[in-house]
Every structure is written in C-alpha cells, then in structure tokens.
Structure 1
Amino acid sequence: MKIIGFKINNYKSIGSTENFLSVEPKVTALIGKNESGKSNILEAVGKLSFDRPLSSSYLNNKNRGASGEVSIIVHLEYYQSELNEFEISQANTSISFTDNRVVKIEGGLSELLNDDELLMEAIQCVLEMNIRSVWGNDSNRIKSVQDYLNGLKAITSQVYINHSARLGNLKNWITNDYTSKEDLIEKLEIIDNCLTKYYSLLPSVYYREQYPQLEASYKYDDIKNIFKEPNHIFNRFLLAAGITEQEIVEAFEDPIDGNRKTVRNRIARKIQKNIEAEFNEFYNQEKIEFQVEFESRVFKIYILTDDKAMNLSERSNGLRWYISIFVDVLSREYKNKSLVYLLDEPGVYLHVNAQKQLLELFLRLAERDNQVIYTTHSPYMIDSRDITNVRAIEKVEGGNTKVFKSAYNQNLSNDSKMETLSPLVQAIGADLKFNIGPSTSNNNLITEGITDYMYMNAMINYLAIDSALNIIPSAGVSNINRIVSILIGWGCEFKILLDYDKAGYNEYDVLVNKLDETLEDKILFVSCNEEVVKEKMWSNPQTIESLISKDDFKKLSTPYDGSSSSKKLAAKEFHDKVVNKEIQLENETVSNFQTLFEAIEIQKHNIAIVRD
C-alpha cells in the first residue's frame, strides 16, 4: 500500500488544524524556513510502526499550546498490483494512532480482512473454544489468553499487535491432554499466515535522523562488536553488498591461507557486483571502483579513479556522504514490502551535481513501490521538471506549524513567503547562478501560476513534444512583472502566457504601459487571440481550463467546476493522469493545446499526431 497523507495532531509544533501532509505516490519535498517544523513532521511520522501503538515518550511530545492529545492518522490506498492480486476495488485505508494501547484500522484493509472467509472461520473456531479446557487453569495464563482472544475479536478494527508472538504463545500454551490440539494449532497457523500476508501490505517507515559516514578502515575486534548493531553503517555496507558475518569471520580467522584468500576474493566480487555497478549508474561525475584489503586484522576500503587508488578517508566529504547514504538506502530494500524513506536535509554535504543525482536515486527507489519524503533548503534538491511534489511548511504566529498542499499557496504569510519559496524559485529559474534556472538559449515561458504549469507540462508530455521550453510559474499573475524585470536584466529570452480575463488584462497593462511597451510582442493569451479587447476579456474570459474539453474534465474524480477550491486539485489530477497515461484526451483538448504550442513557436513538426 502507498501512503497518500498524514494527519498529525498536536505533536511538538504541529497543532490540530492545517496539519495534513499530502504525500505523492513517489517523491515528496518539504520546503520552509529554519524552525518552521519540517523536521517535526518527519519525526512524527518516522517514529511510527504499524505493528505497535504509540510509545509513552511519543505521546509526551505534546504541543504545549494544544488542548487535544497527540495522535496521528495515516491514509493509504492500494497499489494497482494489490488490487489485481486480491481482486478488490479501491478503498482507502486509515490507520489511527491515538494512544499507547491500540492501532485502529478503517476502510480497505479492514474490508480485506473481513472478506477472507478462511481467516474469519479460523478466528471464530478459536473464539468458540473453552479457555480452561484448552489452556488450563493457571490464572495468569488465562488472563493472557483472554487478552489475546479479545484482540482476535477486534481483528477488523485493530491491528493485532505482535501477532506471530501472541499466536505462537497460544500454540505453546495448549495443554497436552487437549484432544484436538493439532486442529487448533492449524487454525492458529492459518490466522498467523493470513495476518502476515495482509499486514505486509502496510509499508515500513525508515527515518534517517543522522547521516553517519562509512569509515576508511575498521579493526576486526571492532567489527565483532559492530555485528551486534544492525543499523551501524558498516553493517549496512555489508548487507547492501550481500556479505555475511560468517564470510567476514572466515576472511580474518580461517587457519588455511588459501581459504582466507578465497573468501576475500568473494567479498570483493560481491562489492563490485552489488554496490559498485549500481553506484556508478547514479554517480556519473567520475567512474569509481571499490577495493577492499585485509591488512593486519584491519578491513580497509579504497576508492580507485583512473587507476589511482586512494583511501576512502582521503576522498571528499561529499563523496563519502553519498556513498554512505547510497549503501544505507540500498540495504533497506531487502524487506519484501514497500518502504517510506524520510530524509531530513539529504545532500547537505554534496556539491550541485551530486545533489541532482540524489534525486535520481530517489526516483529509482520510487519505481520499486517505495516513497520518499525529504526536507530541503537547496534549489538543487528540487526537481525543476515537476514542482507539483513540493509542499510548503510555515510556522505561524503562536508557534504552530502550518502545512500547505503546495508551495504555490497564496495563504503563505508575506514575511516568510520569500524565504520559504527561495529554493523553489531558484530551482525553476529565478537566479542565473544556478544552472537549472532560466536559460539564455532555451525558450522561457512565464505562466500565471502552478495550475498553468501543470496543464502545460501534462500536454507537452501527452503530445510527446521534444521541446526546450522552460516553464516558469509565477506565484500569481500580479507577480509576473517582477519576474520579467529580472529576466530582462539577465538578458534571457522569454514569453508570457496570460489568461484572457480581467486579471490578465490588468497585468498586460502593467507590463506594456508601465514596464516596457516592447513587451507586447512577448505576450500571448491562452485563447491565442492576438487582439486585446478589454471589454471582451472582462465579459467573456478564457483561462487555461478553457482549453480542456468538458468531457475530459468529467474523467477526473475532482473536475474543475469554476471554484478556487477545485482549481489546483483538478490541475494536479489532470497532470498525474495524463503523465501516467491513465486517460485518453478528446480531440478538442489536444487541438486547443496544439494551437497554443504553435503560437508559442514550438515547431509544428515536433507535435505528435492527435491520438485516436
């Protein structure tokens, strides 16, 4: 199952309103000022586990200004492969953590459990047993058995915490003189297997609080202690490479010299195959090779570049950090379930290109039914090709954290808007210092806002246009003149796309009559109407949504109805469904955008033929 959102109540700086984090199916980025609460959001989610309730220490992290208690609700939905496997229709699931006793289930997973006849029959059979005749008369044991059975009664509304251990205890406690012991054990095993299967649908959460770096060398005596720490970065390195503890022991302790050499060669091959090959796919700044040596009971790691070997400690801090997070993330894929990676400020030690490659690593992870949520202040850690996955976090007056569904929200306070949006603005092109900003050679197109950006990007994808168009969404039509002023100063080529409406006319007036009259040649309207007629623009407005046919809007679960509340939701759903090829667009929509793209001077022969 994939997570679609978290509702976090009263945890640290987070209150009981504006506290829902919408999560993308693949990668979600959180941006905001320092101390805005981004890390608190990751921490609140990162300390969760679907197989246990909230701890007392978690509940003690209460927002001091809140009247309610700490709780968190996780909203999930099935992957398509799960819908196919279990032959079910989509139904969202909510998992509620409200205290330190139970984890509540509602929705799709509850229905899945309830519809499993084999599971329900096995539970009913166990519940009908006479407790004392099956498990004896010991009062303490009877109390535990009763508690375990009560959990089975509530199996469709509560997670059966530590289910394998509990069911194992029930099997072990059955008295030897109970005549149907084997039949009962079979029923308990059915329950255990079913719960294991269904609970494995729930993702695991991996919260990376710190970023320990892989060292250049490890003494064997220290390694023997490190084996007891499963999350130690050296253990993660071994796990990612597929190296066992026994192999390390044999590499140092086997009394036969030839055997030691054999296992050491095997270890080297595993590192090359399982780490080096994948690492070089993403870290293309230079091709590197990993070499390990076993010297005087010390495990040493070397990095080779252009046949020059250097001790890992001699390489840059950025490369070491990247290797460490790479092997740590890689090692987490061993579980046969999806993972949600929570990363606080990843890439802080990396140079620009390495940060971009980290985004590629995130996307690769997401292809394996995983999700990544990370915080950042860096423009390089935002994918300028798709900024719809960015969420803005702000701390408002009174100290509470506010979560916005997008970074382009007009409700962001003015005093924090510029700092909050700084990495986003830089990523999409408000500073030429960054090589992912506006281009001096590409066509820059300024749109009124994020919804225009989403529709345009979706249609460029749909029509398979091989274009160098660089879309820069403004935070509202009235801010376009500010972006234009900067681009003029930098000598960038650009065009401006305005809605053919009252707001579009007002900005047109500012641009042409107050800023620079030559800008008239750079302004386009979504209607492709070359004539600016004030009265017509006010009485018969045309927006980017006007280019979408009514039939295509009907294909959305939240179609645009003219209201501001449906505007971004419809644009986001349209974007995602078009990019993921989940809907077939009508010729009317395709033709309207083809006309617009021709007006923008994306060459006509680059546009794909209208799809039947």
Structure 2
Amino acid sequence: MKFTYFKFENFKGIESQRLDLSKNSDSKVFTLVGLNESGKTTVLEAINYFAYKPETLNALELDNYEVGDIHNLIPINKRDNFNGRILIEAGIELENDDIEEIKNAFKENSIALKEYSNFISYTQCYHFENSEYKKDKTQYQWNYKFKGIVGRERKIRSLTNKEALLANTIIKKRLPSILYFPNFLFEFPERIYLEETYEEAKHKFYQTIIQDVLDSLSNDTNINDHLIKRIESEDEKDKRNLNSLIGKMQKQLTEVIFKKWNQIFNKEISKTEIILFTGKDSNGCYLEFNIKDDVDTYRIIERSLGFRWFFVYILLTQFRSYRKQNKNAFFLFDEPASNLHPSAQIELLKSFEKLPKVIYTTHSHYLINPKWLENTFVIKNEAIDYDDEVKYNSKNTNIKISRYRDFAVMYPNQSNYFQPILEVLDYRPTNLELVPEVIITEGKTDFYTFNYIQGIIQNSSNPLKFIPGTSSSNLETLISLYLGWGRKFLVLLDSDKEGLKQKKRYEEVFGETISDLVLTYKNIDPTWDNFETEDLFSDNDKIVIQTKNYPADNSFQKKIFNRSLQELYMKNEIVLLEQNTIDNVNKVLETLRDKLK
C-alpha cells in the first residue's frame, strides 16, 4: 500500500494544492525546494496532519511536530472570519496483498468481493464558522467502490457503507506510517524500559526500535521471551543465553552505525563500539545504550550533539526495513543534515534510497540528486516579493506546488526558486582540471553538448577535453594560462556577431600567434554563418531533447533545451539523435582534433 497524492485546502497558507507522487510509481525519494518562507515546511505539516497513522512520533516530543490548536491552521488572512473548511485528502494505491487480505475478510463475513479498484482516497474535513472549529461537523470519509455478492444473493451489487467497513479496518492497519522529523534534536533516554506495561510513551516507542534490531538478527527473537525473561532469571543458562544475544545485538548495532558513520563523515572509526547494559530497577527491566572507545565507556547523552543526531537517525531509519509488520514507512525530513559538511550531506542523501519512502526539504545543492528531478517540486509563496521581502502581503498568501520541470518551463527567469538544482547541475572548472590539449568554449552549454555526445551517445574511448568559460568575452585567463604553460589548446566561439568580435579582440590582445587557435563555427564550415552550438542539432532533435525532461512545452526554448541537455548528461541517459546532428558534431570534433595535431 502506498500514497499516490495529497490534496490540501485552506491549510495555513495553502489555498488549494495537490502534491502528486504517482508520476513514477517506483519513485522512493521526493524533494521540495524553494526560497525561505516559501511554504516547504507547511507542506510537510499538512501531510503529517493526515488522520490515520499506524504510529506517530508524539512520544519523542519533537519541537514543532504537532499543531496543538486546530485554529492555528486557519489561513492568516482569513482568521478574522473564516467560514469554510480545512481539507486534507490522500490518494492510496492498494497492492495485491492488500486486496487479498480484504477479500479474505469479506469472505469470512459471507461477502464475495467481485469488483474493486486498486485506487482509493481518504478525505478529512474540518469545518469552521466565524473562525470557530465545529467539531460536530468534522467529516472523515473513505472513497472506494467495492462490489460483491452478499450472502445468498445472486447478483453483484455495490456494498453498503456498513458492509464496506470491513475494508476500513484492514486499510487503516496496513497504511504506511507517516514519520515527520522537523528535526532530530531530542533526548535519547538513558534507559529504555522493556515491559509492555510500562506506561511512558517514549519507552513504548523505543521498544519497537529494539525489536527492529532483534528482527535484523534473523533469529526469531523478541523482547519478552529473550530479553525480559532472561534478565529476570537467576538461571546460569539463561544468563549465558542473554549474554550471547546482547553480544549479537552489540555487533549488529556497531557494524551498521559506524559503517554509516565512516561513509557519511569520511572518518575511519576503529576500536569504538556500541555496548548494551541490561538490568532491573524499580521501574522494571531495561536496556541501556553506551559507546565504548579504546578506553572509556560513555552514555549516548554524553556524546556530541552531532553524534546523537546521527545515532538516532540511523537507529530510527536503517533498522526499519527489518520490521515484520508495517515497515512501509513514509519519512518526512525538514532540512535534514543542514549542519553537516558537504561530503556528509552527499552520503546522507544516498542513505535515503534505502528507506521505503522519503519527502524532504532542502536549500543545499549537496542534497540534490539529478536522477530524482522527476520527483522534485518547487514551492512558491505568492505573497512574498523576494526582491523586496518587506512587501509581505498576508492577504495574498498562497503556497503553490509545482513540479520542477513545469516550473522551469513556466518561469525560466525565476531560477532563484530552484537554485540548489542549478548549482548541482552547474560546472565549475578548477585549476586541477586544466589538462593538456583542451578546447576552451564560451560556456557550459558547449561543454555539456560535446561531452554528452562524446561520452554518452558515442561512448568515445579517447574524447576531446573541453573547458567551459563564463562567456565569449571572458576567456583571457584561460588563454593566458595555456600560453604560459606552453600547452596545446584551441578556442571555439559561436560565429554570431559577438563571437566574431571576440575572435578579433583576442587576436589583438595576444597577437597573431593565436590567430589559428581561435576558431568560430564559420571557420569549420563556411555555411555556418551566425551559428551557435545549439544549431548543431536538427530542429527535431532540439524538441526531442527538450521534451525528454520538460514535456510541458514543445516549442523550442534555448534555456530549457540546454537545461535538459545538462540533465541527460548527468543521468547518463541516451537519446537517439538524427544523423544530421551526429554529422554536424563529428565535423566539429574532427576539425578540432586535426587542429590540435
């Protein structure tokens, strides 16, 4: 079972929006980007307000986790006299095993399920009058159509609401848990008490985590029989068995947690391990987590804030996949790991792929994966003038959710909304990349074009090396470096008015010695007058490349075409090009190769 969409109405600043998660059914990770105060956190809060959750994180007492007063959800500009509803709707896809369990439940109640849909929805409505919540008018509604044969009836008919209630119980039980982490800044308990009768919610929550660790051992152990009873026992055999199990748990925790630590922080930690202490006090049997280095043993709460954040993240996420029931969690992370260094953020991003489902917000380009751009959304608050943030107009508060590619097509000049994406796609040359025999180009478009065709389309074993400049008029530094080093290079410019002007200027600045080293497309083919790199592609190929990633617009836009080409290169994705395009590119590459010789 999985969520396919969420729809929101009048939830804080969201007037009416839908977050569609179904475009790629295999997608596991969804990214929300946007400027400050754009509403990214509000989207996560709205999802977290979904009524039916098999489990919650209330016990962790996370800051900003819950909305304590439903009146705080009223849009700011409507608080004076709100007469309407706040709505949250979720689309849910039932999988084959869900349907089978529903069928069996109906069968036990003499109902043969004959017709059904795998797609259902659940809607929750909260009504207000004069800005006061009317609890008696609250509506919770499952929307699905089940038909079957009831009892001794002969005809297939729609099931009544009462008859269909059997399905509700099963659906609610099998729904993915929504686990919202506005942060990971909470205290890990010094001792975790293990008895089910222990009433404190935090310990009941951590009992499920300890069971996850036991399940990861694949030895069919549980808390009651293999921890509690052995802790209480005075039998030496039970003590040995307890020590054996604790030893396996310690080893598993140490391997998983510190292996991830080494990957994320690029620090090899040795002679450090997780140590578990067991015992019984007036509250009952407990398990205590400790860290032992070469000499000393520390409690978790005595370690640094960064380590505690990391420890809890791994404990709550990486062992989740071993859960025998309801392991299909939906994780919501708000600005995760924003305080970690870049390489740690990159490794953390990789760990998301191992989780059942993730939606996260970010401002960091280190937390953007180009392969996930299909599932990236831009969040925009139309109330804010980001050129003058003083002009915040609450009356116009309206949070919009757009797919990144659609937003980029509609607002190609508002790239500040998705700047982290552009930064991860962007190419920034460094001196370490200045290698012999290079082609210096006007900018990154040329770099991506030739590298994409050489590396991805043609899979060349000996590609030409390209270095992008920042514009046709700003290549002096690169030219000077190569002249000073005495290394072979060429400069490739467009044959438009600006390109011809800059070729002449470079010849004047550096002398006739570089006259043959600065080429325009017209030097390669005399018919290529007023020619740019995009013109190497046939008109059809331009549209094919552009619509591969931005299908919303099938009229050529240079900026969108170049952005799509960047993404294809970053994702190693092949597009079939017409022979005319390949011939044009090869003509350029052959000319450049001959010139370098």
Give the TM-score category using the shorter length. Answer: 0.5 to 0.7
Match of 1:400 among 378, 398, 401: 398
Match of 2:312 in 1: 324
Match of 1:239 in 2: 212
Task: State how far apart, in whole Å, the 1-side matches of 2:578 and 2:317 are.
Answer: 44
| 3-state SS in 2 of match to 1:215 | coil
Task: State how far apart, in whole Å, the 2-side matches of 1:468 and 1:306 are.
Answer: 50
**Closer, same or farther: CA 554–567 of 1 in aligned 2, 3 Å:** closer
For 1:364, the aligned partner's letter is: K
1:376 corresponds to 2:362: yes
Match of 1:276 in 2: 255
- Normalized per residue, the structure richer in strand is 2
Match of 1:561 in 2: 554
**CA contact 1:289–1:304 (8 Å) conserved in 2:** yes
CA shift, 1:13, in A, is 1.4
Match of 1:120 in 2: 148
**Closer, same or farther: CA 595–482 of 1 in aligned 2, 3 Å:** closer
Identity in percent: 18
**CA contact 2:290–2:299 (8 Å) conserved in 1:** yes
Match of 1:409 in 2: 408
Match of 1:262 in 2: 241
Match of 2:139 in 1: 101
For 2:330, the aligned partner's letter is: V
Match of 2:114 in 1: none
Match of 1:289 in 2: 273
Match of 2:29 in 1: 27
Match of 1:63 in 2: 75
Match of 2:8 in 1: 8
**Closer, same or farther: CA 245–586 of 1 in aligned 2, 3 Å:** same
**CA contact 1:36–1:394 (8 Å) conserved in 2:** yes
Match of 1:163 in 2: 167
For 1:30, the aligned partner's letter is: L
Task: State how far apart, in whole Å, the 1-side matches of 2:346 and 2:527 are.
Answer: 45
CA shift, 1:40, in A, is 0.3
| 3-state SS in 1 of match to 2:310 | helix
Q: What is the TM-score when the length of structure 2 is the normalising length?
A: 0.60
CA radius of gyration, larger in: 2
Match of 2:180 among 197, 202, 207: 207
1:441 corresponds to 2:445: no
**Closer, same or farther: CA 509–522 of 1 in aligned 2, 3 Å:** same
Match of 1:358 among 327, 344, 348: 348
Match of 2:289 among 292, 301, 306: 301
Match of 1:150 in 2: 160
Match of 2:58 in 1: none
**Closer, same or farther: CA 529–570 of 1 in aligned 2, 3 Å:** same
**Closer, same or farther: CA 588–528 of 1 in aligned 2, 3 Å:** farther
Task: State how far apart, in whole Å, the 2-side matches of 1:344 and 1:590 are.
Answer: 44
| 3-state SS in 1 of match to 2:255 | helix
**CA contact 1:6–1:75 (8 Å) conserved in 2:** yes
CA shift, 1:216, in A, is 7.3
| 3-state SS in 2 of match to 1:276 | helix
**CA contact 2:368–2:424 (8 Å) conserved in 1:** yes
Alignment of 1:525-536 (within 5 A): 530=524
For 1:46, the aligned partner's letter is: N
Task: State how far apart, in whole Å, the 2-side matches of 1:299 and 1:530 are.
Answer: 75
CA shift, 1:359, in A, is 0.8
Task: State how far apart, in whole Å, the 1-side matches of 2:368 and 2:472 are.
Answer: 22
**CA contact 2:18–2:401 (8 Å) conserved in 1:** yes
CA shift, 1:325, in A, is 1.0
**Closer, same or farther: CA 467–535 of 1 in aligned 2, 3 Å:** closer
CA shift, 1:362, in A, is 0.5
For 1:43, the aligned partner's letter is: E
Task: State how far apart, in whole Å, the 2-side matches of 1:507 and 1:5 are.
Answer: 49
Task: State how far apart, in whole Å, the 2-side matches of 1:585 and 1:594 are.
Answer: 14
Task: State how far apart, in whole Å, the 2-side matches of 1:126 and 1:15 are.
Answer: 47
**CA contact 2:472–2:502 (8 Å) conserved in 1:** no
Task: State how far apart, in whole Å, the 1-side matches of 2:304 and 2:556 are.
Answer: 52
Q: Deviations over 1:274-309 (max 9, x none)?
A: 673475156423245322223685643233456875
Task: State how far apart, in whole Å, the 2-side matches of 1:496 and 1:391 are.
Answer: 38
Task: State how far apart, in whole Å, the 1-side matches of 2:6 and 2:453 are.
Answer: 27
| 3-state SS in 2 of match to 1:35 | coil
Question: Which segments of 5 or more consecutive residues in structure 2 lack a partner in the other structure?
Answer: 55-66, 104-116, 126-137, 216-220, 384-395, 435-439
**Closer, same or farther: CA 57–269 of 1 in aligned 2, 3 Å:** same
**Closer, same or farther: CA 8–121 of 1 in aligned 2, 3 Å:** same
**Closer, same or farther: CA 454–413 of 1 in aligned 2, 3 Å:** closer
Q: What is the TM-score when the length of structure 1 is the normalising length?
A: 0.59
CA shift, 1:537, in A, is 4.1
Alignment of 1:457-468 (within 5 A): none
Task: State how far apart, in whole Å, the 2-side matches of 1:320 and 1:557 are.
Answer: 42
**CA contact 1:97–1:104 (8 Å) conserved in 2:** yes
**Closer, same or farther: CA 552–515 of 1 in aligned 2, 3 Å:** closer
Question: Which segments of 5 or more consecutive residues in structure 1 lack a partner in the other structure?
Answer: 130-147, 154-159, 166-191, 431-436, 474-478, 603-612
**CA contact 2:6–2:18 (8 Å) conserved in 1:** no
Select between 309-318 and 404-413 the one with higher mean Cα deviation: 404-413
**Closer, same or farther: CA 537–459 of 1 in aligned 2, 3 Å:** closer
Select between 504-513 and 310-319 the one with higher mean Cα deviation: 504-513
Task: State how far apart, in whole Å, the 2-side matches of 1:72 and 1:221 are.
Answer: 36
Task: State how far apart, in whole Å, the 2-side matches of 1:233 and 1:239 are.
Answer: 10
Count matched residues.
501
Match of 2:64 in 1: none
| 3-state SS in 1 of match to 2:148 | helix
CA shift, 1:425, in A, is 5.0
**CA contact 2:214–2:222 (8 Å) conserved in 1:** no
CA shift, 1:327, in A, is 1.4
Task: State how far apart, in whole Å, the 2-side matches of 1:305 and 1:394 are.
Answer: 47
Match of 1:140 in 2: none
**Closer, same or farther: CA 425–217 of 1 in aligned 2, 3 Å:** same
CA shift, 1:11, in A, is 1.6
**CA contact 1:31–1:392 (8 Å) conserved in 2:** yes
